[in-house]
Amino acid sequence: MKVGIARNARGLTPRISLKNLQVSSVRFQHQKVNPPSEENKPANADAPKKRRPLSRVAIGGSQDHERKYAKGTIEFAAWKAILVLFGAGGLATWWFQREKERIRIQKEVESKRGIGKPLIGGPFSLVDTENKPFTNLDLVGDKFSILYFGFTHCPDVCPDELDKLGEVLDTLKKDNNTELQPVFITCDPARDSPEVVKQYLTDFHPSIIGLTGTYENVKNACKKYRVYFSTPPDVKPGQDYLVDHSIFFYLMDPEGNFVDVIGREATATEAVEKIRLHIDAFVPKEEMERRKDSWLSFLYK
């Protein structure tokens, strides 16, 4: 197509060649396309087109990245499940082992008691350093009690054992915030009046309760706890003498029942450990009966 420039009086005017314009229009003419015949029409031409689901691949991402992410998520979840399974199994094993040990200690304690009547422990009636009555019922409460039988004129054994008792009490209080009710019972009531016992115990732990009483009452208490003691025969008034007696600590639970003995050979550390085990294993009688009727009853058989 040629465009000519013609000049007239008013200025420049574009001039287009008609021949070239016709040729150009032919070149750009659209060809007519006949629709396909019924014979050539595809079989699924009339079927509705399925909508393509939306892709979950982020813009700029790839399908491979999505697969890797899903795979990693599954593997991570599997590892979490395994860790939870092992953690729960370990916790259950620890709990059953702990409960088994508690039951073993409880059965051991029960074996030390008689049927119907305890082998160690029982009713007694004495007085403390303030002349107030103190009986076996005062051992019932919210604390374990620990009893020691001795006498104030003991030259070495009793002071050593009472010093050890003070160390045990302080350690339990400091490390476990546990308090016991410590009780000193004299085996020499003839010389150990309430005033004498009170003065004697000032050299030891301040929480120790001192008990004394008549000869018959002291003898009865010693008999209940299977404590052996003897004094020399035919002792004259004012004459000095020693009392031979058993050397044990008697541990009692908060229900006033005998639990265990701690001998002279045990160190303070060993005594603390034994007491701690019994405290951890202690279950009140009513609670024990409920557990025997629960789904955990097989542990208590």
Output the known binding site for Cu cation: 154, 158, 245
What contacts 133, CB < 8 A, 6 or more positions away? 125, 126, 127
In three-state form (DSSP H/G/I as H, E/B as E, the rest C), the secondary structure along 1-60 is CCEEEEEECCEEEEEECHHHHHHHHHHCCCCCCCCCCCCCCCCCCCCCCCCCCCCCCCCC
In this structure, how many other beta carbons lie within 10 angstroms of the beta carbon of residue 162?
A: 21
Query: 3-state DSSP call for residue 131?
Result: coil
Mention every residue, 6+ apart, whose C-beta is less than 8 A from residue 12: 5, 6
Binding-site entries: 154, 158, 245
User: What is the bridge-based pairing of β-strands 229-230 and 244-245?
Assistant: antiparallel
- Give the span between the Cα atoms of 104 and 109, in whole angstroms: 9
Q: What is the DSSP string of 210-250?
A: EEE--HHHHHHHHHHTT--EE--SSPPTT-----EE--EEE
